[in-house]
Chain A
Amino acid sequence: MNELIKTATRDAYGKALVDLGKVNDKVIVLDADLSAATKTIMFKNAYPDRFFNTGIAECNMMGIAGGLSTLGYTVFASSFAMFAAGRAFEQVRNSLGYPHLNVKIGATHAGISVGEDGASHQCNEDIALMRTIPGMVIINPADDVEARAAVFAAAAYEGPVYLRFGRLALPRINKEDYDFEIGKAVHLCEGKDVTIIATGLMVNEALIARENLANMGISAAVLNIHTIKPIDRAAIIAAAKETGAIVTAEEHSIIGGLGGAVTEVVCESVPVPVLRVGVEDVFGRSGPGAELLHIYGLDAANIVEKVKNVIAMK
């Protein structure tokens, strides 16, 4: 891990769009009046003719994205996760998901680390919502390297993709030559007592927890699941078989997100104890993002506690 490099995945998103636009002239970016925050403004500045601001009208933006995509464009439609997945859910479901159109939803400001804006803007439900749409791919990158790779992979994939980015600057955990594949989990560390399955900014917390657990004599494997749908069933089943216990960790509600997806696979295939770290079915509040992560138990310390508990259940 290189502690010196800290970048928000939304910044990586903006930069990746610019580089993608350079090699692919069919890329169009839409935003709903949040381009400075979602970082699509970088694309706007580079390719003003291929950027369209629909104003504060996310539902309309999704429809426009759908129409454009049927003409052969690869469309990225951006807003905050709350409005992209929340407000425009039915447009995403019916105008993009049902016809399986080639639109990538660039949803930034996901999760509780949005911080000071408070609960109205802290979307902890988007993964759950998007998971219910048949054919929707969901990618939740852990750092800037993964975010960039996800943007290019999404563009190369034909069909709707939900890309989840955050506001908070995160340490880089992946090497620049990292080989990203949609739907393929990444084994970060081996271990024998438990597997911590993490996604997004919780991957780094999982790595910290692993070090702390090692000092307590507990050997934890760490699996990074960047693609929540389609989920890497084989990797989860192997982890359950090899370590016999699982803790999931995500910056999302414990209902319907990574924890839900992993639990479904484990229960149906290799029932072993699973405990979930996530937002515990509550709304957030205002405060610095990094502080809120601790307040709501989205940190290494809580992962360590859950690991101890899950091992006791074995």
Chain B
Amino acid sequence: MDEMVKKQLKITACKVRIGAIEAVYNAKSGHPGGSLSIADILTYLYFHRMNVDAKNPQWEDRDRLVLSKGHVSPGLYSVLALKGFLPVEELITFRKSDSMLQGHPNMHMTPGVDMSTGSLGQGFSVAVGLALGAKIGGKNFRTYAILGDGEIQEGQIWEAAMYASAKHLDSLTAVVDNNDLQIDGSIEDVNSPYPIPEKFEAFGWNVIEICAHDFDEIDAAYKAAEKCKGKPTMIIAKSIKGKGVSFMENNYKWHGSAPNAEQYEQAMRELNAELAELEA
């Protein structure tokens, strides 16, 4: 990947993290950990890969993204705001009663959100429906789905995985944000979905394993997915929950809780320092 492009993506991803923390801090609730672990991939998709138009969010031929792990809405909203789908100032209204930014994504209230999600396991099926629709309608748009590693404990994920490969939906690329943690602890302790790549391979998917925070690997994976014909692609992205904020990293307690004022200050200090370094 071009170094300048990569640098710009890193800068944007850092701003996405700042926006996500702003949203959760002001809401006094929300899901920072997973928003930070998926921030690089969401940034890559919206700023480098997807064919979208912030001025025309309902554009018929746009690429679609379904945030099946809908609780990481702060990450998505932050990306959409930076991309111009909504004013960045909206982020601090997150989860408030007059906000366009619901706790979990709502396709009718927030420009750029392609599907209402939040109940785990369900968005993935919708993404399969979108890819099926593209195929039968002769459309060229691609569909991207974001899954959590805890989310794949839901049986519906495997119903959808079976169907997508049975119908050869190669315009569908999904990613498992494999940060190893869910709300009650480590995914291995709660109900291990491991080994994840082998499971999706057995379901007929093209599987690619990457580091979720390495733009070269992200770029290579999504390019390879686009080239793969006859099979949907599942990217297993090994990630760090809470990535970018030292005290949130690899700690399941930050799955679904907001920082207090002191923690918020520290998070902002760290992220702003990183941003300054990247922009230097």
Answer yes or no: B156 CB below 8 A from chain A CBs. yes
CB contacts between A and B, total, < 8 Å? 100
Whether A55 and B163, one on each chain, are in contact in the complex, defined by CB atoms closer than 8 angstroms, is: yes
Answer yes or no: B114 CB below 8 A from chain A CBs. yes
B115 contacts which of A54, A55, A57, A99 (Cβ < 8 Å)?
A99
B115-164: which have CB < 8 Å to A? 115-116, 118-119, 121-134, 136-137, 139, 155-156, 159-160, 162-163
Whether B162 and A67, one on each chain, are in contact in the complex, defined by CB atoms closer than 8 angstroms, is: no
Answer yes or no: B276 CB below 8 A from chain A CBs. no
Known A57-B163, A63-B160; judge A94-B122 contact (CB<8 A): yes
Whether B162 and A64, one on each chain, are in contact in the complex, defined by CB atoms closer than 8 angstroms, is: no
Answer yes or no: B5 CB below 8 A from chain A CBs. no
Answer yes or no: B7 CB below 8 A from chain A CBs. no
Whether A68 and B133, one on each chain, are in contact in the complex, defined by CB atoms closer than 8 angstroms, is: yes
Answer yes or no: B220 CB below 8 A from chain A CBs. no
Whether A63 and B129, one on each chain, are in contact in the complex, defined by CB atoms closer than 8 angstroms, is: yes
Q: Taking the nearest CB of chain B, how far is it from the CB of A105, in angstroms? A: 15
- CB nearest to B126 among chain A residues: A67
Q: Taking the nearest CB of chain B, how far is it from the CB of A1, in angstroms? A: 42
Q: Taking the nearest CB of chain B, how far is it from the CB of A28, in angstroms? A: 8
Q: Taking the nearest CB of chain A, how far is it from the CB of B13, in angstroms? A: 28
Please give, as numbers and ranges, the residues of chain B lying within 8 Å of A94 by CB-CB distance.
Answer: 116, 118-119, 122
Chain B CB count within 10 A is highest, among A63, A73, A99, for A63
Contact count band on B: 20 to 34
Answer yes or no: A95 CB below 8 A from chain B CBs. yes
Q: Mark A61-74, 1 if CB is under 8 A from B, else 0.
A: 11111111111010
- CB nearest to A91 among chain B residues: B122
B163 contacts which of A64, A66, A90 (Cβ < 8 Å)?
A64
Contact count band on A: 20 to 34
Whether A71 and B128, one on each chain, are in contact in the complex, defined by CB atoms closer than 8 angstroms, is: no
Answer yes or no: A49 CB below 8 A from chain B CBs. yes
Bound CA span A95–B116, Å: 7
Q: Taking the nearest CB of chain A, how far is it from the CB of B179, in angstroms? A: 24
Answer yes or no: A52 CB below 8 A from chain B CBs. yes
Answer yes or no: B190 CB below 8 A from chain A CBs. no
Please give, as numbers and ranges, the residues of chain B lying within 8 Å of A99 by CB-CB distance.
Answer: 106-108, 115-116
Q: Mark A96-136, 1 if CB is under 8 A from B, else 0.
A: 00111000000000000000000000000000000000000
Whether B119 and A67, one on each chain, are in contact in the complex, defined by CB atoms closer than 8 angstroms, is: no
Whether B125 and A59, one on each chain, are in contact in the complex, defined by CB atoms closer than 8 angstroms, is: yes
Please give, as numbers and ranges, the residues of chain A lying within 8 Å of B123 by CB-CB distance.
Answer: 63, 95
Please give, as numbers and ranges, the residues of chain B lying within 8 Å of A65 by CB-CB distance.
Answer: 129
Please give, as numbers and ranges, the residues of chain B lying within 8 Å of A49 by CB-CB distance.
Answer: 136
A60 contacts which of B114, B118, B130, B159 (Cβ < 8 Å)?
B159
Whether B126 and A95, one on each chain, are in contact in the complex, defined by CB atoms closer than 8 angstroms, is: yes
Known A55-B163, A73-B133, A99-B107; judge A67-B127 contact (CB<8 A): yes
Bound CA span A71–B121, Å: 21
Please give, as numbers and ranges, the residues of chain B lying within 8 Å of A95 by CB-CB distance.
Answer: 116, 119, 122-123, 125-126
Bound CA span A55–B124, Å: 17
Bound CA span A231–B114, Å: 32
Please give, as numbers and ranges, the residues of chain B lying within 8 Å of A55 by CB-CB distance.
Answer: 162-163, 166
Q: Taking the nearest CB of chain B, how far is it from the CB of A16, in angstroms? A: 22
Known A71-B130, A71-B133, A71-B137; judge A64-B116 contact (CB<8 A): no
Q: Taking the nearest CB of chain B, how far is it from the CB of A167, in angstroms? A: 26
Whether A57 and B162, one on each chain, are in contact in the complex, defined by CB atoms closer than 8 angstroms, is: yes
Bound CA span A70–B126, Å: 9
Bound CA span A64–B114, Å: 14
Bound CA span A94–B70, Å: 12
A63 contacts which of B122, B137, B166 (Cβ < 8 Å)?
B122
Whether B125 and A60, one on each chain, are in contact in the complex, defined by CB atoms closer than 8 angstroms, is: yes
- CB nearest to A75 among chain B residues: B129
Q: Taking the nearest CB of chain A, how far is it from the CB of B40, in angstroms? A: 26
Chain B CB count within 10 A is highest, among A61, A64, A71, A99, for A64
Whether B132 and A66, one on each chain, are in contact in the complex, defined by CB atoms closer than 8 angstroms, is: no
Q: Taking the nearest CB of chain A, how far is it from the CB of B64, in angstroms? A: 8
Please give, as numbers and ranges, the residues of chain B lying within 8 Å of A50 by CB-CB distance.
Answer: 136
Please give, as numbers and ranges, the residues of chain A lying within 8 Å of B136 by CB-CB distance.
Answer: 28, 49-50
Bound CA span A66–B124, Å: 11
Whether A98 and B116, one on each chain, are in contact in the complex, defined by CB atoms closer than 8 angstroms, is: yes
Q: Could you list 30 A-B pairs, sorted by A, with CB under 8 Å?
A: A49-B136, A52-B132, A52-B167, A55-B162, A57-B163, A59-B121, A59-B125, A60-B163, A63-B122, A63-B160, A64-B126, A64-B160, A66-B126, A67-B66, A67-B125, A67-B129, A67-B133, A68-B132, A68-B133, A70-B107, A70-B114, A70-B133, A71-B134, A71-B139, A91-B156, A95-B116, A95-B122, A95-B125, A98-B116, A99-B108
Which 5 A-B residue pairings sit nearest by Cβ, starting from the closest? A67-B129, A63-B125, A60-B159, A64-B129, A57-B159
